[in-house]
Structure 1
Amino acid sequence: MIEFINVDKTYGKSVKALQQINLKIEKGEFVAVIGLSGAGKSTLIRCINRMHDITSGSLVVDGIEVGELRGKEIRKFRRRIGMIFQSFHLVTRTTVFKNVLVSFVPELPFWRKVTGIFSKEWKLKALTALDQVGILDKAYVRVDQLSGGQQQRVALARTLAQNPDILLADEPIASLDPVTSKQVMDDFKRINQQMDISVIMNIHHVEVALEYAERIIGVREGQIVYDGPSQEVTDEILDYIYKGRKEGMTAEVYGEGAYV
């Protein structure tokens, strides 16, 4: 589904955000990307939907060379990839229902964009998405009356209404309390398993990443330093990802297929 081949990303003339990334993510995987702030985690996932352009190498999503897309092709491609942000990006002065309906705006004929009239089919899709994340009862409540966790679920419902193949999440629980974080992560896990949607998540909460993701990618200074099953991640591996220490590390510790 997603393949990075010798990908580099440089900001300006000298800031190397990503260096020689070689990575393949199959359909239906739940992947957590971990590492220090500034390590390149957000850049990695934002290259997938062309929020950032790679500097060199090749990035292929379901057979499509992402870097070759232009204009309307990029917009069409992004419809297949949902993106969840830490800051929710909701219109707080209107209802939950209308926020989810916004996901259909790019597909609307001009007259519907002007009038704001949505078809019965789109309304049903929006309500179904709200039901999938457990907040159908909040459909006609203003967003600014919801808790942070409920607002994140609205953002998730808005993305699900697009019927995406891939779900990218950039620190989705960073501003949530532990109880609410668990509820949101349960939503991600259920969506991943029941809808077979690939989930790639940039996350600072290591213990949460290990609990929910089946695969961990460790990034340090723009490079992948670990790639393997979550159950094989040890304290030594975490020390290497976050501190660059590998005293006592062996090939067996990293596990098959991991990067050193």
Structure 2
Amino acid sequence: MIQFKEVGLTYPNGFQGLKDVNVTIEQGEYVAVIGLSGAGKSTFIRCVNRMNEITEGELIVQGQNVPTLNKKEVRQMRRSIGMVFQSFNLITRATVLKNVLVSFVPDLPVWRKVFGIFTKEEKMKALEALDRVGILDKAFVRVDQLSGGQQQRVALARTLAQEPSIILADEPVASLDPVTAKAVMDDFRTFNKELNMTVIMNIHHVELALEYASRVIGIRAGEVVYDGPASDVNEAVLSAIYNGQLPEEIGGE
């Protein structure tokens, strides 16, 4: 479970990234976070793994109060939280398999990190993850020889290999063509349904958000203005999120 309790985030320059956010996300939910550029979508999801530090309120993730964790505890927490980025964040001159094996590096002793030594079990987990996303045949291909969609699947496999219970996705399909984007979204849905992973996705494509997510959180100027089932999102809701017109019947936080 993830609980935002009156969470606020003010940057050093005084800009408010989040304002009085109260949201609870249960394990196994598929949540799409939508809103204008700069509304606070990325800020919201990056608070979950403390890539962004909240300045007000409480943020409880899997029973831990995130702002109070020390550096070692944050590293341990992040092992159960996968992160997928728009830019893939891969080592392009390395093979696909080596990129997936990177997910194990934080837990390795120093000597194994230095020499890049991985166990047979770790290699098998990496290959299984590649098989799940349908690119096992690319295991020994260099990443810079892959298409954008294939690279995003490598990033997904890297996340799967660490066996997270939560996946945070920051605009994961923004740079992909429509067909490839839907294929990657299919992968997220599979992980959510088959592995009971919580998926929290910041996404610009409203149509994809409504098609794949079960729940939508709409953020405007750092505030949650809609939080409800994707099936209930209509033009009035979208107007509230993108134009700031908030009819009483929509509600919101």
| DSSP 3-state at the match of 2:33 | strand
Aligned residue number for residue 201 of structure 1: 201
Q: Verify: 1:18 aligned to 2:11, yes or no.
A: no
Q: Verify: 1:224 aligned to 2:218, yes or no.
A: no
After superposition, give the CA deviation of every residue in 1:3-31 in whole Å (9 maximum; x if it has no partner).
00000000124201100000000000000
Residue 245 of structure 1: CA displacement?
A: 1.8
Separation of aligned partners in 2, 1:138 and 1:164 = 23
Q: Verify: 1:91 aligned to 2:91, yes or no.
A: yes
Matches within 5 A, 1:110-259: 110-246=110-246, 249-251=247-249, 254=250, 258-259=251-252
After superposition, give the CA deviation of every residue in 1:150-194 in whole Å (9 maximum; x if it has no partner).
000000100110000100000000000000001100000001000
Separation of aligned partners in 1, 2:94 and 2:15 = 40
Q: Which runs of 5+ in 1 are unaligned?
A: none
Matches within 5 A, 1:37-76: 37-76=37-76
Q: Which amino acid aligns with 2:226?
A: Y
Separation of aligned partners in 2, 1:150 and 1:19 = 37
Separation of aligned partners in 2, 1:226 and 1:213 = 14
| DSSP 3-state at the match of 2:88 | coil
| DSSP 3-state at the match of 1:59 | strand
Separation of aligned partners in 2, 1:179 and 1:26 = 30
- Let me know the Cα RMSD of the aligned residues: 0.9
TM-score normalised according to structure 1 size:
0.96
Separation of aligned partners in 2, 1:23 and 1:242 = 20
TM-score normalised according to structure 2 size:
0.98
* Stretches of 4+ aligned residues off by more than 2 angstroms: none
| DSSP 3-state at the match of 1:43 | helix
% identical aligned pairs: 64
Residues matched between the structures, number: 253
Residue 250 of structure 1: CA displacement?
A: 4.3
Q: Which amino acid aligns with 2:14?
A: S
Separation of aligned partners in 2, 1:68 and 1:61 = 12
Residue 42 of structure 1: CA displacement?
A: 0.3
Q: Which amino acid aligns with 2:228?
A: G
After superposition, give the CA deviation of every residue in 1:180-237 in whole Å (9 maximum; x if it has no partner).
0011000000010000000000000000000000000000000000000000000111
Q: Which runs of 5+ in 2 are unaligned?
A: none
Q: Which amino acid aligns with 2:239?
A: D
Tell me: CA distance 1:19–1:250, structure 2 relative to 1, closer, same or farther (3 Å): closer
Residue 111 of structure 1: CA displacement?
A: 1.6
Residue 109 of structure 1: CA displacement?
A: 1.3
